Chain A
Amino acid sequence: MNEILVIGIESTAHTAGIGIFSSTRGILANEKSEYKPISGGIHPREAAEHHSKTFPSLLKSALEKANCRMKEIAAVAVALGPGMGPCLRIGASLARALALKYGKPLVPVNHAIAHIEIARYSTRMEDPLVIYVAGGNTLITTYVEGRYRIFGETLDISLGNCLDTFARETELGFPGVPEVEKLYHKGTQLLDLPYIVKGQDVSYSGLLTHALELFKKGYAIEDLCYSLVEIAYSMLVEVAERALVHTKKKEIVLTGGVARSKILQKKLFLMAKIHNARFSSVKPEYAGDNGAMIAYAGYLALTSGIVIPVDKSFIKPLWRLEQVEIPWRKF
């Protein structure tokens, strides 16, 4: 079989990424550059500026790493959403330009689908329950009848957002998850913070508000970090457990930026053990946003015949996971 090379472009939020996937040799390149705000959260326009400045060198080094030239590439895949408009536009412009200049088909990729597929790819799991946790997303999904269906998600802010905001308000720094987790290990007391599970969904905004109130009242930051992480993660693991039992799946995979969390991994591993399910986490290099996952998901879509004309390749900032058909998983 001939080798098919797909280049993937990611720019949905703070990461500009370019990856190259080969149908015979796997992932050949995964170049990325992360926009880091000087203060506060992500400023979409500044992030977009960062992306437009870094993409040329990322493209060059990705092609060098993969040791190939644009004309050998079969298709250009791009994350058209969901994400921040100004950021998405940069990746989309680059993808359109490459597709037009080199006469390559353009493949639209949903960012969330890419996180799911790269997790399956890197763990070799067939049909897992997927826990997707990142700065912008917290959801539990699995494949049912042609699509990834959402079994549980946050009703308000994402888990990553909850911890990042807590870290920012308490001046622990950005990104917040690793900082809060460092202090987690030093905490000794579990404070009474709201544990909010509604059916298969979780809610983090009340937990965040309450934790910040206790911070202002002078509670020890170590105990707060311990309690916040313990409660936030336990809530997620509990709804994941409910989804696992409901769907009767035998595999669980963790993906997204927060997938690097050893604490969350351990909790999910313990939960999976109870139900004799196999647990695995996406490889760390594919946890955060990256171009390789877009290239890989783009390859799956391309070989299922999914391409989009350049003049129809609008960005989709609110592109929901269940809207995407998954023809490559018919079984």
Chain B
Amino acid sequence: MAEILGIGAEAILVKDKFYGFEVVRKTRIRKDYRNSVLDERIRRRRTLLEARILATCKKNGIPVPTVLHVDLDKAEIVMDYINGVRLRDIMDSLNEEEIRKYFWVLGKEVGLLHKVGIVHGDLTTSNMILVRDKIFLIDFGLSYFSKELEDRAVDIHLLLRALESTHPRYVETAFQEFVKGYREVMGGYVESILKRLEEIRMRGRYIAERRRKIK
């Protein structure tokens, strides 16, 4: 019956049955390291927002799990189970061609996501599930609604950083294809994103290039 799929950073994911469907029950765990009022507030707000965002994605054809039930008091979302493999776990076994293909697809999906006004907020390869040629985006725990250039650029900045830190070997190829896919949906807007991305990186601490620019 119920099988623990994973204990994530903020939620526990249990594979379960729900009216005959194979589902994932995502429950935001109480964190005893933070004040209980703060904790309750964070878990409630994030659960509600996540459910709304998943529904919006679904409506716009972005591959995400379908929401079947929400319980705010338990900080719980029930959604359908995505049967695939985590991109993070197979990155090291992918060849260059596969990397190109998947990151192009990913670029298109993130482009679409941004187009409908959603920022994922945690675009790491742990949060991408490969099902045939589609990449399902999961864990919208830190997502929010925004069409701001800054927010979108930070979203992509996080992806780039996650790639650099976890899969340093593939960064260039993967990112290049990602940008191509993104451009297909967002067109020339991608140039503004890339420009802002550069600015965001310069804002980081101890960036040698920043000093050169100021001079």
Listed in ascending order, the chain A residues whose CB lies under 8 Å from chain B are: 81-82, 136-137, 144-145, 149-151, 153-156, 190, 195, 197-201, 230-231, 234, 237-238, 241-242, 244-247, 266-268, 270-271, 274-275, 316-323
Contacts and interface: CB of A to CB of B under 8 A. Distances in A.
A135 to B, nearest CB: 12
A323 B121 CA distance: 26
Interface residues of B, number: 36
Contact of A198 (B42, B142, B204, B205): B142
B10 A234 contact: no
Contacts of B31: 234, 238, 271, 274
Contact of B34 (A155, A267, A318, A323): A267
A151 B165 CA distance: 7
B161 interface: yes
B123 interface: yes
Main secondary structure of the interface of A (DSSP, over half): mixed
A195 B204 CA distance: 20
A317 B10 CA distance: 37
Nearest to B212: A318
B84 interface: no
Given A153-B204, A241-B10, A246-B166, A230 B38 contact: yes
B47 interface: no
A200 B38 contact: no
Given A198-B121, A199-B121, A320-B207, A150 B165 contact: yes
Contacts of B7: 245, 274-275
Given A244-B9, A246-B126, A267-B34, A197 B142 contact: yes
Interface string B106-124: 0000000000000001111
Nearest to B120: A199
6 contacts: A150-B161, A190-B37, A199-B158, A234-B38, A319-B206, A320-B205
A326 to B, nearest CB: 13
Nearest to B159: A199
Nearest to A320: B206
A149 to B, nearest CB: 4
A278 B210 CA distance: 37
Contacts of A244: 9
A199 B33 contact: no
A153 B35 CA distance: 22
B154 interface: yes
A237 B34 contact: yes
A195 B32 CA distance: 17
Given A317-B206, A321-B206, 9 more contacts: A151-B165, A190-B38, A195-B38, A197-B142, A199-B158, A230-B35, A237-B33, A238-B10, A320-B206
